[in-house]
Amino acid sequence: MKKRKGWALVAAVGLVASLAVVAAATAKSTKHAANAQVAVLLPDTQSSVRWETADRPFLSAAFKKAGLTYSIVNAQGSATTQQTQAEQAITNGAKVILLVNLDSGSGATIEKNAKAHGVKVIDYDRLTLKGQASYYVSFNNPQVGVLEGQGLVKCLKASGKYSQHPVIAELNGSPTDNNATLFAQGYNSVLNPLYANGTFKKGPNQSVPNWDNQKGLTIFEQMLQSTGNKIDGVDAANDGLGGAVISALQARHLPKIPVTGQDATAAGIQHILSGDQCMTVYKAVKKEADAASDLAISLAKGQKKTVDATVHDPTGNRDVPSVLLAPKAIYKDNVKDVITDGYVTAADLCTGAYAAVCTTLGIS
């Protein structure tokens, strides 16, 4: 019990620190907001901390280097706020909007209004269905899901549960986020054949509205209740939801089980170091931000670049010129790759109870 309380305290301190970083970043008013040439519309801070801790500084640095005026705002989960922010950006003379939509419906409205005012839009990270964006910049999102599914299989084999017909729960992302649909397509392409042949038993499967971690916690607690705690592995769509699963397991004093994640957040990697999470999917946000800012800078200057891929929007029946980057699976034995890439630092990870694990793995 004492040991568990100690870990809980470390987790709580880490959470407070993460929230403080996000709050500070969100509170900062971006310079050059008036008459900005490029406006970045971020979605929230609850789906992932990455929007404020990674995307904002990377995009800001790119636009500063290019000498463009810019604004970066966060809608904090409100589609109405995001539409107002988009209208303000157009009023302020934006030539380009970099949009991370909260849902395709509100995103498509923003893009229709932007087009009517001669403003170009880039869908950033999330494709806007029935949208009118000039480009889409993201990762190969079905492959993100495939890596999660493969990771869960790998970790179940390592735990010895693979051959015992484990019950698998799926905690999916927001039903209004097209990326969540793509992630699920990816991991279900791995898991469905194993359900079909009886290797795995399909357990509870539910989406989490707005990627809300607190709702994810409640949903997973209900999953445990409905199964009598008999869940042997969880495909959690991102690190935040993975953390919710881990919290629920710890609250019930249940043993660790394989749990997946995505985004390679500091908290997610710490959970990997402690053995509470089996893997995460690393998406090199700097590469994504650099690709998007490069296109935005070109559009702001009246230029149009050719890209190598297209993504089909089935609801809008259009092919969107796209830049798709490759994701990478991260396990305990290759955590260093994320540090080497500069996405997180050893100082971010190797705090408190995690310091000893870092020393063992040679992370410093």
- What is the CATH number for 67? 3.40.50.2300
pLDDT tens, residue by residue, 100-109: 999 999 999 9
Q: Which string of DSSP letters, residue by residue, matches 20-73?
A: HHHHHHHHSPPTT-TT-SEEEEE--SSS-THIIIIIHHHHHHHHHHHT--EEEE
Residue 266 and residue 169 in one domain? yes
Burial of 46 (0-12, 13-18, 19+ CB in 10 A): middle
Across 292-311, average pLDDT: 96
Residue 105 and residue 49 in one domain? yes
Residue 9 and residue 59 in one domain? yes
pLDDT tens, residue by residue, 306-329: 999 999 999 999 999 999 999 999
Residue 125 and residue 34 in one domain? yes
The Cα 12–Cα 143 span in angstroms is: 32
Q: Is the pLDDT at 218 greater than 90, yes or no?
A: yes
Phi then psi for 98, rounded to 5 degrees? Answer: -100, 110
Helix axis angle, 266-274 to 239-251, nearest 10°: 40
The Cα 104–Cα 314 span in angstroms is: 13
Query: What dihedral do alpha carbons 59, 60, 66, 68 form, nearest 10°?
Result: 110
Residue 279 and residue 341 in one domain? yes
Residue 334 and residue 271 in one domain? yes
Q: Is the pLDDT at 33 greater than 60, yes or no?
A: no
User: What residues pair up with 236 in beta bridges, in sequence order?
Assistant: 171
Residue 309 and residue 335 in one domain? no
Structural domain boundaries enclosing 340? 141-283+329-361
> Which of 8, 18, 9 is CA-nearest to residue 349?
18
Q: How far does the chain reach from its first CA to its final CA, in angstroms?
A: 30
For residue 173, what are the CA distances in angstroms to 40, 169, 184, 260? 23, 13, 8, 13
Confidence of residue 35 (pLDDT cuts 50, 70, 90): confident
Residue 132 and residue 256 in one domain? no
Q: Are 325 and 139 in contact (CB under 8 A)?
A: yes
Q: For the chain, give the percent of residues with pLDDT over 90.
A: 87
Residue 321 and residue 289 in one domain? yes
**∠ Cα 185 186 192 (to 5°):** 75
Tally of domains in the chain? 2
pLDDT computed for residue 318 by the predictor: 95
The Cα 320–Cα 308 span in angstroms is: 11
Across 270-296, average pLDDT: 97
pLDDT computed for residue 34 by the predictor: 59
Residue 290 and residue 226 in one domain? no
Rounded to two decimals, the pTM is 0.86
Residue 176 and residue 86 in one domain? no
Longest dimension (CA), the chain: 63
Residue 197 and residue 338 in one domain? yes
Q: Are 52 and 72 in contact (CB under 8 A)?
A: no
More confident residue, 27 or 267: 267
Average model confidence (pLDDT) across the chain: 91
Confidence of residue 17 (pLDDT cuts 50, 70, 90): very low
The Cα 316–Cα 169 span in angstroms is: 32
